[in-house]
Amino acid sequence: MMKTLHKAFVIGATLISFAAAAGEGQPHQYTATKFDPAKMQERMEHRAQRMHDALKITPAQEGAWQAYLAALKSNMPQRGQFDRAAFKEMPAPERMEKRIEMAKSHIIRMENNLAATKTFYAQLTPEQQKLFDEKAGRFGHRRMMRHHH
């Protein structure tokens, strides 16, 4: 359940955030480094730069872009907060309570990401909004399809 929630959040956050990826790299390259914090940070920065470039963020929009990225980054779940061994040892009702707690935390992060996205989106021109819509949706779809195959 935790893996599913974590994957859903990562996919959702990526979908909402820096979704400008076409040719994201070979799947085996990603799998080999997906839990390496430095590589994850590098991939996030690369996607953010690609989205920044694709949207042609103007100097007047740069502050909104940086605030958007900062908000998304602050909403990322922190690794290491979940003790799998302790979770497995919990009685069933406590495990369910923990799952509900994690789901609520996930919803709060997603609501915060939505607020940040709406604020940033409002600063975009209609053409940029259309591009953001296309890139964000297309990237999320590809990622989900990759996980199902």
pTM beyond 0.75, yes or no = no
Give residue 135's pLDDT band: very low, low, confident or very high (50, 70, 90).
confident
Structural domain boundaries, residue 91: 2-7+37-148
What length does the chain have? Answer: 149
Report yes or no on 118 lying in a domain. Answer: yes
Report yes or no on 26 lying in a domain. Answer: no
Which is nearest to 11 in space by CA: 149, 105, 103, 146? 146
Report yes or no on 27 lying in a domain. Answer: no
pLDDT of residue 64: 94
Eight-class DSSP state of 77: P
Better pLDDT: 55 or 16: 55
Average pLDDT, the chain: 76
Question: Which sign does the torsion angle of CA 66, 16, 5, 94 carry?
Answer: positive
CA distances from 49 to 1, 16, 102 (A): 32, 15, 31
Which is nearest to 78 in space by CA: 125, 138, 10? 10
Better pLDDT: 8 or 109: 109
